[in-house]
Amino acid sequence: MVGLGALALRLLIPKKLRFGPPCGKITVPGPWEEFLTFSANTRQLGDVTVVDVRGGFTNLEGEAMHEMLLDLFREGRTKVLLNFRDVSYLDSSGIGQLVRSLYTARNNGAELRAVALTGRAAEAIRLTNLHQIFTDFPDEGSAIKSFVS
C-alpha cells in the first residue's frame, strides 16, 4: 500500500521540490505542502550533535538526511544522535536510508545513534533485526551518555 505522502510526491513534478538551508527543511509546493513537510535541525550538546527530525521519513527525506549527515561528518562531527521523537511516519525506504547513513557514519569514523523511535518505527527496526546494529535509546539523556568520550 502506498502512503498518501508517497503518492502525492509521485503526482508532483520533482523539479518543483524546494530545499531550504542545508537540508534543514524540504517542502513540496502546492496543496500537499502542509502534509509533506520534513525538517532536520541540528543542535550541539557537548561533543554530540543532535539532529531533531520531524515529519514523515521516506526515501526522499532519508536522502536529504544522508546529505546533511555527510556534511556533519566532513566537518569532523563524529558523535551524532538522531532524535525521532517527532517523526510521524517511517517506511521501508526510510529504514533503508537509515542503514545507508549508519554505513556512511562507520566509513567516516563516526558513531550514529537514535532516540525515541516509537510505535511502528521501532517495531520495523526490531522486525528487520536492525536493532542489533542500530542502537535506539528511549531518552536523549541515556543516548548522550552512551557515546564514549
The string of pLDDT tens digits covering residues 31-73 is 555 555 788 899 999 999 999 998 888 888 889 999 999 999 9
Q: Domain map of the chain by residue range?
A: 4-146
Structure confidence at residue 72 (pLDDT): 95
Instruction: Express the helix, strand and coil content of the chain in percent, nearest 5 each.
Output: 45, 30, 25
Q: What is the mean pLDDT of residues 16-30?
A: 44
Q: How confident is the model at residue 127 (pLDDT cuts 50, 70, 90)?
A: confident
What span, in angstroms and rounded, lies between the C-alpha atoms of 42 and 23? 11
- The answer regarding whether domain 4-146 maps to CATH 1.25.40.90 reads no
Q: What is the mean pLDDT of residues 59-88?
A: 92
What does pTM read for this prediction?
A: 0.73
What span, in angstroms and rounded, lies between the C-alpha atoms of 143 and 137? 6
Contact 92, 124 (CB under 8 A): yes
Count each helix (H run) and each strand (E run) in the chain, helices first. 5, 7
| Average pLDDT over the chain, rounded to an integer | 77
